[in-house]
Structure 1
Amino acid sequence: MLVRALGDNAATFLIIATSLLLRFGVGLHPYSGAGSPPRYGDYEAQRHWMEVTVHVPIQDWYTSTTDNDLDYWGLDYPPISAYQSWVYGKAIQQFEPGAIASFTSRGYETPSSKTLMRWSVVISDILVFIPAVLACRWVFFKDATAEQRAWVLFAALLQPAAVLIDHGHFQYNNISLGFAAGAAAAVASGKEVLGSILFCLSLNHKQMSMYYAPAFFAHLLGRCLARPTLLSKVGAVLRLGFVVIGTFACIWAPFLLSESGALGVVARLAPLRRGLFEDYVANFWCSTSPLVKWKQLFSQQELVRMCAGATLFTALPAMLQQIRRPSKKGLLLCMASSAFAFFLFSYQVHEKSILLPLLPVTLLAPDLPVLASWMPAVATFSMYPLLKKDGLSLAYVGLLLFWAAFTLPDRAAPKERTRRPGRRNCLEDLIADVLPVLFRTFVGLALGIHAAAAVLNPPKRLPYIFDAVITVLSFLQFAGAAMHIQLLLWKQDHEKVH
């Protein structure tokens, strides 16, 4: 009703303005590692990368030298993240040189420098993420109703998990997510070369964008194989291959001058030293570890192979579907399926990685109204142990209440459906009935866990019992969502999904 009264353009402006206001509000809260020497946290890592890239020669950015101690928050993201750090470091240096002074700026936490750092994340959203979401809305829902178009924008820009991680905890995930969303929009609109370039930018900003690689590979391969002749099929594959190689070569050029330079960057990007998982992440390995001691039963090499096999096995069905029958919205569904496969089963998963399956789910909000309402709430809940440690409990509660007030009453409840006479899609009806029940059950359990944690002391033998319960409960929700998306790709009528 409000969207119809405002009109499409006014509703778009209001949603974007609200999303920016919430980002500024969350930015007033603490961040990862605030006032916690000697290593502080992710905020200090991002600040330190600016310090390094501004003061250290580019060929030494990923190398341990007297001017670059890799044991203190050494760069471990791909080159575009490093270039971004240099750009923002140069900008902040103009306003507050002490914030990135070599060595003496470690743990630098003045209010003015915090404001500059927070602004850099907001600017990243304005320059990359918001335009990419608008492009996706135009490509995937050009002919949708005004309410549906507003719902896409609202779900993608205001879902609480991404706002809390980037603007609370402090990261720049929305840059890589924005490049990936832009790539999806470009590919879906037939601009395959542009889409390939944008996805390469996403991969080279954060390596976790690899979660989407199977989806883009399968979809683009399916498009190439749909060409009429063998020559055109091979030509299409080769063209995209050259585009990818050329884009990577341009991005990595400063580090390709020597073999040790490129290998040094690659070594910094591989997280194998960190083990199977850290902290409490709502994936299969962490959730089942109380019953199966994976780290004690298997060597690191065995665990890496197990994770790779389980991830590939889980991602494969959606990939095969897109190779066989690529489609616009099928690409987004495959991105969600592939990202869930990586999040649930891959090696060394971080809590923030749940943002990757959330992006395509929220971009498909009109087609997946229950999931688009439900999954951001579950994802935010799953990250509560991390957010609590960062001092973001108040922001967590506020954003979840905001999200619930605007989405859950209308989206999470089962709708009255007109049953078609004769044979009907029993699976579709079953899913539509079960998902809202699961969501209500989850909400009740989540509130119960928070209430218990607020009034009860955990047993001395199990000091992290509440965090573990949050992890297991969230994992079950994510696993259910992943299976639902697989069924959408394979069981529902293709045209209705798209």
Structure 2
Amino acid sequence: MHQLKASGKSPSPTGSFIAGMSWRDYAPLFLFAFLVKLFLIPSYRSTDFEVHRNWLAITHNLPSAKWYYENTSEWTLDYPPFFAWFEWILSHPAQLFDAKMLEIDNLQYASSGTVLFQRLSVMASEMVFFAGALRIVQHVRDRRHRLIFLGIIFWSPGLLFVDHIHFQYNGFLYGIQLFSISAMLQNQPIIGAILFATILNFKHIYLYQAPAYFIYLLRSYCFRADRFSFPNFLLLGAATIGVFTASFGPFIAHIPQIIARLFPFKRGLCHAYWAPNFWALYAFGDRVLIHVARIIGLSAGVETASLTRGLVGDTVFGFLPDIKPVHTLLLTVLSQVPTLWKLWSDPTPARFIDSLILCGFGSFLFGWHVHEKAILLVLIPLSLLVRKSPEYARIFYVLACTGYYSLFPLLFRPAETVIKTITLVAFALFGHHFLAMLHSVHGKSSSDFQVLPWERNYLQGLIPLFLYTELIHPVFLGPDKFQFLPLMLTSIYCSVGILYGWVILYQLGIS
């Protein structure tokens, strides 16, 4: 069985990798991806494009004390301070492309220079992700397996959809996390903790995975030979607090305002497009009960449309109990307890990665106002385990196909329909082929990697779902009639596959 291995030695980020491979081996992987992303520069952009343009303008023109108060645009700054400083850094070269993009009141500005700069900035920052992937795969001895492993991690359709079409900056953050995970595998807990604290101060969604880091670091570093090491605890605490001090220290007088921006709990339980999680099935069940009640002459006391708008405080159920943030927190914690307990009992690097994935997964399934894009918190770390066993490779394949398909509603124009379809079909075909190669029986053409019959049938069910939501519904019913139906069908169908994947992963992760 292939394992991610830990050692007492710490190789350089690329040293031992390059010793086994030349630039000719892995450069094509990066260059091909780069050319594809160049081709996507003029593609669809979501409102997140304007969000980041506005943040460039805010950080460039205002003193830092005013960054988290500026509200000329509805897209106010609501990421932690490190990301604000990242935008401030980007704002300086942005002037060379089009200085008008840095005007705060120049809302919805999207000149060709602005588009080019913002797209290129995503590509440039994603080099951190590629470097992190190189760091992860450097221990793999077999050249062919190393290239396949690198491709599976780096060629993520999810990052292509979310970062390079929809528009966000996720790649470099996952790159930092890959370096953090690598540090954990190489027995460098302080470096791993510092890097994780760093990404927390770039994007607070990584709080979902914080329990796994906390338990692993506490148990493996602060307890030695079943004795608590107070010096290690102080060192770990000082390193972590140091990162947060560097981030929030300059904003010490404005922390309440920043917290209010970072955690807007007044939003509803479900986003406008239901993330494919437990609450999508819960909301769907309530809608079914409402319609059944109408058929038999009962009053539900709530409009079904109120479940779909994703507005502030707008999630009210007709028959099932209303859900509050505290309920989602309780379910999330309960979903994480078994894997955290197993991690405490067996604090190994392999167990840490399992727990990291399951903590993020539990938060995705049961969290408050979860976005569909958060599935990447599961899929990116899970891609690191495709060599661990055929079972992990199989469930990664099922979850990846389902999770990436669940992102389709983000890209709704006809031109992007072609792009996303080709991308996912290519991933499904080539991904299956290369995962089978990773687990091929030595000296034989057969492989231990096999998708189970019911999993194959489920994935094939994505085809009629696609035909209806992307072709039949818009052509025969139009975009305005039963507008939420395609979104709901996508969410519900993908929820089933994702919940199935969670159950299987839990069985693997705590076995």
* TM-score, L = length of structure 2: 0.82
Question: How many pairs align?
Answer: 451
User: In the alignment, which of 5, 12, 21 is matched to residue 35 of structure 2?
Assistant: 21
- On the 8 A contact 2:386/2:396 being kept in 1, the answer is yes
- On the 8 A contact 2:351/2:509 being kept in 1, the answer is yes
Name the CA distance, whole Å, in 1 between partners of 2:207 and 2:349: 20
Name the CA distance, whole Å, in 2 between partners of 1:129 and 1:415: 25
1:46 CA displacement? 0.5
Amino acid at match of 1:450: F
Amino acid at match of 2:246: C
What are structure 1's unaligned runs of at least 5 residues?
A: 1-6, 33-40, 419-430, 492-498
Name the CA distance, whole Å, in 2 between partners of 1:108 and 1:408: 42
Name the CA distance, whole Å, in 1 between partners of 2:189 and 2:86: 25
Name the CA distance, whole Å, in 2 between partners of 1:110 and 1:383: 27
User: In the alignment, which of 133, 146, 149 is matched to residue 149 of structure 1?
Assistant: 146
Instruction: Report matched runs for 1:332-481 at 5 Å.
Output: 332-367=353-388, 368-388=392-412, 392-411=416-435, 435-453=451-469, 454-456=471-473, 457=476, 462-481=482-501
User: In the alignment, which of 51, 57, 68 is matched to residue 62 of structure 1?
Assistant: 68
For residues 222-243 of structure 1, the C-alpha deviation after alignment (integer angstroms, 9 at most, x for no partner) is 20355126352x3322321221
Name the CA distance, whole Å, in 2 between partners of 1:208 and 1:160: 20
Closer/same/farther in 2, CA of residues 463 and 321 from structure 1, 3 Å limit: same
**Does residue 240 in structure 1 map to residue 264 in structure 2?**
no
Q: Percent identity?
A: 23
What is the SS of the residue equivalent to 2:219? helix
What is the SS of the residue equivalent to 2:461? helix
Closer/same/farther in 2, CA of residues 265 and 387 from structure 1, 3 Å limit: same
For residues 285-307 of structure 1, the C-alpha deviation after alignment (integer angstroms, 9 at most, x for no partner) is 12320213683249999511110
For residues 107-132 of structure 1, the C-alpha deviation after alignment (integer angstroms, 9 at most, x for no partner) is 11112211111000001101x21111
The aligned counterpart of 1:286 is 280
1:212 CA displacement? 1.4
Amino acid at match of 2:472: V
- On the 8 A contact 1:52/1:61 being kept in 2, the answer is yes
Amino acid at match of 1:312: V
Query: Which has more helix, going by share of residues?
Result: 1
Name the CA distance, whole Å, in 2 between partners of 1:483 and 1:384: 24
The aligned counterpart of 1:131 is 131
Name the CA distance, whole Å, in 2 between partners of 1:115 and 1:253: 34
The aligned counterpart of 1:428 is none
1:404 CA displacement? 2.6
The aligned counterpart of 1:425 is none
- On the 8 A contact 2:73/2:107 being kept in 1, the answer is no
1:175 CA displacement? 2.5
For residues 177-236 of structure 1, the C-alpha deviation after alignment (integer angstroms, 9 at most, x for no partner) is 22222111112211111111100111111111112111111211220355126352x332
What is the SS of the residue equivalent to 2:225? coil
- What RMSD in Å do the two structures reach over aligned CA positions? 2.7
What is the SS of the residue equivalent to 1:221? helix
Closer/same/farther in 2, CA of residues 413 and 462 from structure 1, 3 Å limit: farther
- On the 8 A contact 1:26/1:164 being kept in 2, the answer is no
- On the 8 A contact 1:458/1:465 being kept in 2, the answer is no
For residues 231-269 of structure 1, the C-alpha deviation after alignment (integer angstroms, 9 at most, x for no partner) is 52x33223212211111001111101x2xx011101100
The aligned counterpart of 1:305 is 326
The aligned counterpart of 2:101 is 99
Q: Which moved more, 1:401-410 or 1:54-63?
A: 401-410
- On the 8 A contact 2:54/2:73 being kept in 1, the answer is no
- On the 8 A contact 1:155/1:372 being kept in 2, the answer is no
